[in-house]
A = this chain, B = another copy of it.
């Protein structure tokens, strides 16, 4: 039942800053730690991709034409077994960049096969949230719902996060070391995601004859 090829993961960083801003990204740190933990389970991956480094057009089609760089990102999401969506909290809610990514994934709803399965069927999603303070669970909720709506499966313990105390201003990227509870959460999520992705790759959802 084991998958023949190693599992792959693909991580998107929905920071409000492009890489060119040359500021350390808390989301990047969280994503990198997750990809590293997945690596221990044989999951291969490239570095997280910063969405704002690409010209992702607003819209709900898989290709909005006219310089739209979403198709290349979309292709990598579809090529991977595990999708890791990473994003910062703003105003207690997911960043607008994350919202744009989710809107582009909305196109999956119209891209089903003859068994009613969307392109994300059989893929496993993790959601990584960072913020100075408050909002992680709300972001998990919004992202789990959106990702599940377009076909992703959410493994046990899929919501990863770190936030500081109310009205605080500490950044995750500046912590001297990752808090033990966060590290443990990452180990568990990686184990669960790798296990579930292996199962689903070996025995895909059968879907329903349309």
A38 to chain B, nearest CB (A): 13
Determine how many copies of this chain the complex contains.
4
Task: Please encode chain A, from 150 to 184, with 1 for each CB lying within 8 Å of some chain B CB and 0 for all others.
Answer: 11111111110111111110000000000101101
> Which one of B118, B145, B165, B179 contacts A137 once the chains associate, using CB atoms below 8 Å?
B145
Stretch at the interface among A5-13, A77-85, A190-198: A190-198
Whether A188 sits at the interface, judged by CB under 8 Å, is yes
> Which one of B136, B165, B207 contacts A191 once the chains associate, using CB atoms below 8 Å?
B207
Please name the residue on chain B nearest to A125 by beta carbon.
B154
Main secondary structure on A side of the interface with B: mixed
Asked if B92 contacts A156 (CB within 8 A), the reply is no
A185 contact set on B, CB distance < 8 A: 167
A56 to chain B, nearest CB (A): 10
Count, chain A residues at interface, CB 8 A: 76
Asked if A157 contacts B148 (CB within 8 A), the reply is yes
How far apart are the CA atoms of A99 and B96 in the complex, in Å?
5
Asked if A188 contacts B208 (CB within 8 A), the reply is yes
A94 contact set on B, CB distance < 8 A: 99
Asked if A96 contacts B96 (CB within 8 A), the reply is yes
Q: Show the binding face of A for B, using Cβ within 8 Å.
A: 1, 16-17, 52, 58-60, 90-97, 99-100, 102-103, 106, 116-118, 120-122, 133-138, 140-142, 144-146, 148-159, 161-168, 179, 181-182, 184-185, 187-188, 191-192, 195-196, 199-200, 203, 205-208
Q: Could you give 27 example pairs across A and B, Cβ below 8 Å?
A: A16-B58, A58-B96, A90-B106, A92-B138, A95-B103, A96-B100, A96-B102, A116-B184, A116-B188, A118-B156, A122-B156, A133-B163, A134-B163, A135-B137, A138-B141, A140-B145, A144-B145, A144-B148, A148-B159, A162-B166, A163-B165, A164-B165, A164-B166, A165-B165, A167-B181, A188-B207, A199-B200
